[in-house]
Amino acid sequence: MRRGGRSVGGWRCGWWLLVHVKDGKLHYTHSYVSTEFFTVSSKDAVPEGWHKLRFEFEPAGEPDFAAGKGSPGFFQLHFDGTLVGSLDVPHTGFTGYNHQAGVDRRGGLRPALPRWLACRVAVMSAGSRTGRRFRRGVILAFAVGFICSAWYWRREVRSLVRNAKPYVRRRSHIQNPVLIINRWSGDGKAEAVGLEERARSVGIKTVMLERGDDLTQLAHDAIDAGADAVGMAGGDGSLGLVAAVADERDVPFFCVPVGTRNHFALDLGLDRDDPLAALEALNEGDELLIDYGLVGGRVFLNNVSLGVYAAAVHQEGYREEKAKTIAQVLAETAAKPELQHSLQFETPDGHRHERAPLVLVSNNRYVMSGPPDYGRRSRLDGGMLGVSAVTSLPEAGTVGSVTLSDLRSLHEWETSSFQIESNNEMILAGVDGEALEFPAPLDITIRPKGLRVLVPAGVRPGYLPPGEVIAARLLDMAEIGGQLNGPGDG
Q: pLDDT tens for residues 429-451?
A: 999 989 999 999 999 999 999 99
Q: pLDDT tens for residues 215-233?
A: 999 999 999 999 999 999 9
- pLDDT value for 51: 75
A 10 A CB-CB count for 280 gives 17
Give the three-state DSSP class for 231: strand
- pLDDT value for 482: 43
User: Among 11-15, 134-138, 183-187, which stretch is predicted with the lowest mean pLDDT?
Assistant: 11-15
Contact 93, 12 (CB under 8 A): yes
What whole-number percentage of the chain has pLDDT above 90? 37
Q: Angle 358-361-364 (CA atoms, 0-180°, nearest 5)?
A: 145
**Threshold 0.95, pTM exceeds:** no
User: Among 242-251, 292-301, 355-364, which stretch is predicted with the lowest mean pLDDT?
Assistant: 355-364
Contact 355, 341 (CB under 8 A): yes
Find which of 40-44, 131-135, 407-411 is predicted with most confidence, using mean pLDDT.
40-44
| Mean pLDDT score across all residues of the chain | 77
Give the three-state DSSP class for 213: coil
Fold observed for domain 303-448:
Tumour Suppressor Smad4 (2.60.200)
Mean pLDDT of 143-148: 74
Cα separation, 293 vs 416, whole angstroms:
10
Where does residue 157 rank: exposed (0-12), middle (13-18), buried (19+ CB within 10 A)? exposed
Q: What are phi and psi of 36, to 5 degrees?
A: -135, 140
CATH, domain range 169-288+454-463: 3.40.50.10330
Cα separation, 352 vs 359, whole angstroms:
14
- pLDDT value for 231: 97
User: Among 99-103, 149-153, 252-256, which stretch is predicted with the lowest mean pLDDT?
Assistant: 99-103
24: left (phi over 0), alpha (psi -120 to 50) or beta: left
